[in-house]
Amino acid sequence: MKKGLIVLIVIVVIILGIYSWVKGNYNRMVVMDENVKEKWSQVENVYQRRMDLIPNLVNTVKGYAEHEQETFTQVTEARAKVGGMVNIDESVLNDPAMFAKFQQAQSQLGSALQRLMVVQERYPDLKANQNFLQLQSQLEGTENRIAVERRRFNEASRQYNSFIRTFPINMLANMFNFNTKPYFQATAGAETAPTVEF
């Protein structure tokens, strides 16, 4: 009888230990996953800010540089392409192909905006326009925010990915369908400085 009671107590302690381990690590994965999603929403937030600034910036530049139609078209098309992806939510984090497509569209928009900023160098009156200067400053600030939020997202993804890939957590993560999250990466050719000619 005593032996049976001791065995039962040992079994209960083992079951409680396993339950406690699973519960604690599951909850930690949920918290880390939510942190990645929160960082992603901040990335989307600053991208939306950039999208909202672009029409004002383009209209201000158009007033001074009407014959730069090709640049305006490129910016408008890139913005429309990104705008077509507005309904993307955190589900993009589970689809590497969709994440890469989103990142490429944002990169194309950034390149088009850089070309628009080069246009302003050709027009001294535009460079002195207060509206343009304010918009340019806001856009530069937004680009910095984008870089900061992408870095924070990558840090949260790295912590989450590292945690769910370690043994024995990886078995638990697979059991509960916790998948790795993607990282923002530099676009191809980003290591070379762009050539600016006037």
Q: What is the pLDDT of residues 168-195, one digit of tens each?
A: 999 999 999 999 888 887 665 544 444 4
Is the backbone of residue 197 left (phi > 0), alpha (psi -120 to 50) or beta?
beta
Q: How far apart are CA 50 and CA 123, in angstroms?
A: 23
The angle subtended at Cα 93 by Cα 103 and Cα 186, nearest 5°, is 30
Q: Is the pTM of this model over 0.75?
A: no
156: burial class by Cβ within 10 Å (0-12, 13-18, 19+)?
buried
Residue 45: per-residue pLDDT = 85
Residue 136: per-residue pLDDT = 76
Percent of the chain with pLDDT over 90: 29
**Which of 6-15, 52-61, 124-133, 147-156 comes out lowest in average pLDDT?**
124-133
Residue 44: per-residue pLDDT = 85
Residue 79: per-residue pLDDT = 66
Q: Pick the residue with more confidence: 179 or 122?
A: 179
Residue 20: per-residue pLDDT = 93
**Where do the domains of the chain lie, and which CATH numbers do they carry?**
55-185 (1.20.1440.20)
Q: Pick the residue with more confidence: 12 or 134?
A: 12
Residue 86 DSSP one-character state: T
- Report CA-CA distances (Å) from 46 to 29, 43, 58, 169: 26, 5, 18, 33
For residue 196, what are the contacts with CB-CB under 8 A and spacing of at least 6? 118, 121
Residue 55: per-residue pLDDT = 76
Average pLDDT over residues 14-22: 94
Q: How confident is the model over 44-102, as pLDDT tens digits?
A: 888 888 888 777 777 776 666 554 556 666 666 676 666 665 455 666 777 777 777 77
Confidence at 106, pLDDT banded by 50, 70, 90: confident
Residue 31: per-residue pLDDT = 95
